[in-house]
Structure 1
């Protein structure tokens, strides 16, 4: 019988797989310690690689997301490398420009425009001298030595040029010099040039106001962006004032002058100039003023209209007459004896080419008598005289919108003596600015209301608030007297047919550093208003140190110099301001303004003791020497100013 067939699943004979042939127990494979360490190290390395790969994936993901956002989702505005500031900080957001300034008619006087500036990072400049030479080739306005100096050093920022044209910017860019950058900036532009230079003032390189209304309204112009500042000036009047005053300066070889036109009801300064002036578009030329120019009155930045203080001379006789009329010590038919000099101790007051007789009030102003004016002031008395001058604004700084406004030089209350009243009565012994004079005269003609001058445009027909200083009746009488000075007195050259100009001339010698008057150096002025039947504008014209010319017969007084300039100004600006000459009604209007040189006393009035003003008793004061230089101005007093006059 054959054996049983083998099991197909049985193991081959003689071989065992994982099993002992002699035992059924399972044996474990043993791994050595070095192999275990090697495997642990590989596991840790694999984990670190996974973490590093994840980190790099995250980093590149963030960068890709930012790039996608900046270029596809919300593209960023191209950044200007030149906007980097001195600490390499990112540039600030560019804000709108400084507020514009216009005249009363909307004509631009100052505006800020965007410009391109060039700056450098000196630490990135390898060869400063070579770079400077290359820059000067395309920007010839630069100085190679100064540019090289600014490009040298370890600084991070240095301006090279503040304002480049597009063509210049392209030329610099084409040089391909590393370390040069462009910056979008601003520049203050003054389209009218010289027309209102002293009033506008100007700004520095950073756009901050340095003088004039630019400084006075600096915060408003910087913070109220987009809002214009509208001034009371009329640029057309500015040009007419400048032309007329400059012609007088040139014709009489003066060193300077000033002109002011003011609305007598609103106090608006419609025009105000000071010569010499300067072009705001070229401030660098103005800053190159020779040392000592301020003392010589030749500095173009010096504003004669508001900063210069001068003895007003005979223009102040208008205030003396208004004071005497208003306080009741004088009537138009009264007068004073002007035939004898006034002696005060060892000093003497005289008239220049006087009438040597008794003068009524109209004659006192028409002939500009120092003697009669001194008597008129003395009749009021020192205390009331000073109080009136202070009330008229002659004792303090005016509240006009300018930083540059002078304080008058007026004797202190405890130093105001009889001699001060005598000399100030005819315009000497006190120093005020032209703006003070025209402000006071505006009150004399406008009905008696003193209004502070303003450079801010007012609504048409505005009558500004003010303080009553004289009565309406006194004002009406003064208008007739001022008209008489132009028709019959020293102001004849200011007459313009149809505009009925009234005013007063004044000539005063200048005072030197030692307090004494300077020979043949004088201030000539005219102050007045028009039309006198219903005054709308007050006018002041001054020429500094005029000299006689061939036509003036050896004279350089206000009647020859300032009055004709005033007439020319009225002739030019009145039509600009919408005023037509009233030639058809001229006889009627003139009849209403006329006043006789020696008016008769109205019936029913008690007799007045004309010319009986008491003469002040001599005092121990020691005024400076009294002397009349040969050929001096008609309004020049013989008595000189006291050396004790000081600011209050």
Structure 2
């Protein structure tokens, strides 16, 4: 910037020549300089004010827009989640093997309150209690007249309840759309499906999450928006499941049992066609878990066929016989001396009701369910080989069955597997497993010697795992199981036309603090049908059954679990597409005579 001198020499000389005062020129230049400085300062101030005004305008515009948006939107409950996280509402359906709906979604509403907007909170509370009797009137009045800005009243309501709440007419009571999980078949397959609940929630949406069963096991798949039109298909058959549960409920009542379970499994694919645990529950209104101090099996949430780990008794004897045949130690006709006494260390090995069967074949050891005969076979096998065989049958680990509860069904085996354990485990005592473990073991006998993994998912074709016994051993074992039904302890289990093969097992129930009850048992019948072309394995287990027959109280599986299983097979075999087949009888004696 060029500065003008206050006393320019040329003007000063010119003024002196004219006789004027040179200081007038200096004062004039000072005045002009001051005015220029004031103009520049004013311009800078005006620019700063303009920028500041623009900033305040923008800030007030943002605040005003946000206030307008909040005023026109619905209230939301504070969420413990990241800002902007969306709530995924859609959840894939669950269907049975034929595509029939087991679990689906239903559009419904929640109802909530904004007390500051309410006109007559006390009257609104009274009317809400009339619609929802489980609400606490005093609590509602306190919340409505207090400092709360938001509260849930009901997180899901029926259309009729929505209309009744709407008729109250208070502007502080509002509705929010949401989606709920619906199980249209009620209690059917409850322990398989498990149930669902709400995760993250807002007034306009709620996240449905699985809390048990396949709903939790496959939660990621069911919640994935990409699978919204791809239902999860299970191996269950809805009609068979209904028949199994209906018969099992009746059998449990007739046998005065505390609980019951059943597993129907395809012996070649591992598909579980039906599975039931009683008592049961409705997944639409899933009960709360029991508080501490109760036996878990007392809760309807307890899944007996995977979480129920018990000593299952004589149903294990066929595994001992099958392994002995597979190792070439015996065959079905080999004679075994079952005479007493028999002791392992200081522990005697006895027979049921003190019987003595003498020298009988391996097949008859299974038919008569001889503890001594099975124990002597086990001693020939040895502890190490016995453990290897049972491990190959999956008896030492939780089953890979795809519901979350299966992980809790951990088998209990002895810490020290000596000679005594080898003998007792051969007839089903000393090793605790679940009915699902047992089903997988019997499937290996039914399918010719392969382990198959139990699954709840639909499969196409056989899913054979590693071979655990020879085909010959499996066939001989199946023949022995058939004789148990025709000639042995499971005579009530014969179903005309379907050639049932199976084994009974009655095990004393252990006490919580050690020892066994004298009058409480777990009665189990493990069966394969039809024996001439094995396709299915059925396990029926009753917890503490007792029935009066022929003037005596009966608890053994032959009197309790076997009749229930027979009724089940007769009911479900036609539903499975199995045609009855009459077994040939001995030809009548014909004498040829001459004319």
The normalised TM-score by structure 1 is: 0.74
2:464 corresponds to: 465
1:520 corresponds to: 519
Q: Select 2:130's aligned residue among 112, 130, 137.
A: 137
2:419 corresponds to: 418
Which consecutive residues of structure 1, in runs of 5 or more, have no partner in the other structure?
A: 1-46, 67-75, 592-648
In the TM superposition, 1:249-398 aligns within 5 A as 249-283=252-286, 286-287=287-288, 289=290, 292-295=293-296, 297-353=297-353, 354-398=355-399
Q: 1:204 to 1:567 in 2, by over 3 A?
A: same
Pick which of 563-572 and 151-160 moved more.
151-160
Structure 1 position 538, deviation (Å): 0.4
The reply to whether residue 86 of structure 1 matches residue 78 of structure 2 is yes
In 2, distance between residues paired with 1:166 and 1:278? 24
The reply to whether residue 532 of structure 1 matches residue 523 of structure 2 is no
Q: 1:95 to 1:555 in 2, by over 3 A?
A: closer
Q: Count residues in correspondence.
A: 517
Q: Select 2:182's aligned residue among 176, 179, 189.
A: 189
Q: Which has the larger radius of gyration?
A: 1
1:627 corresponds to: none
Q: 1:106 to 1:237 in 2, by over 3 A?
A: same
2:432 corresponds to: 431
Structure 1 position 115, deviation (Å): 0.5
In 1, distance between residues paired with 2:396 and 2:449? 18
2:29 corresponds to: none
The answer as to whether partners of 2:191 and 2:280 remain within 8 angstroms in 1 is yes
Specify the SS of the correspondent of 1:557.
Answer: coil
1:164 corresponds to: 157
The reply to whether residue 238 of structure 1 matches residue 241 of structure 2 is yes
Q: 1:552 to 1:287 in 2, by over 3 A?
A: farther
In 1, distance between residues paired with 2:79 and 2:433? 51
Structure 1 position 96, deviation (Å): 5.2
Pick which of 191-200 and 164-173 moved more.
164-173
The answer as to whether partners of 2:88 and 2:223 remain within 8 angstroms in 1 is no
Structure 1 position 82, deviation (Å): 4.7
Structure 1 position 126, deviation (Å): 6.9
Structure 1 position 83, deviation (Å): 6.5
Structure 1 position 492, deviation (Å): 1.0
Structure 1 position 90, deviation (Å): 11
Structure 1 position 485, deviation (Å): 0.6
Structure 1 position 552, deviation (Å): 6.8
Specify the SS of the correspondent of 2:295.
Answer: helix
Structure 1 position 199, deviation (Å): 0.8
Structure 1 position 547, deviation (Å): 1.6
The normalised TM-score by structure 2 is: 0.81
1:199 corresponds to: 192
The answer as to whether partners of 1:84 and 1:91 remain within 8 angstroms in 2 is no
Structure 1 position 125, deviation (Å): 4.5
In the TM superposition, 1:461-610 aligns within 5 A as 462-551=461-550, 553-583=552-582, 586-587=583-584
The answer as to whether partners of 1:114 and 1:184 remain within 8 angstroms in 2 is yes
Specify the SS of the correspondent of 1:205.
Answer: strand
Structure 1 position 403, deviation (Å): 1.0
The answer as to whether partners of 1:341 and 1:371 remain within 8 angstroms in 2 is no
2:140 corresponds to: 147
In 1, distance between residues paired with 2:244 and 2:335? 37
The answer as to whether partners of 1:82 and 1:119 remain within 8 angstroms in 2 is no
Q: 1:131 to 1:389 in 2, by over 3 A?
A: same
The answer as to whether partners of 2:446 and 2:535 remain within 8 angstroms in 1 is no
In 2, distance between residues paired with 1:373 and 1:169? 66
Which consecutive residues of structure 2, in runs of 5 or more, have no partner in the other structure?
A: 1-45, 200-207, 588-595
1:455 corresponds to: 456
In 2, distance between residues paired with 1:339 and 1:86? 76
Q: 1:375 to 1:288 in 2, by over 3 A?
A: closer
Q: 1:498 to 1:458 in 2, by over 3 A?
A: same
Q: 1:333 to 1:170 in 2, by over 3 A?
A: closer
Structure 1 position 293, deviation (Å): 3.5
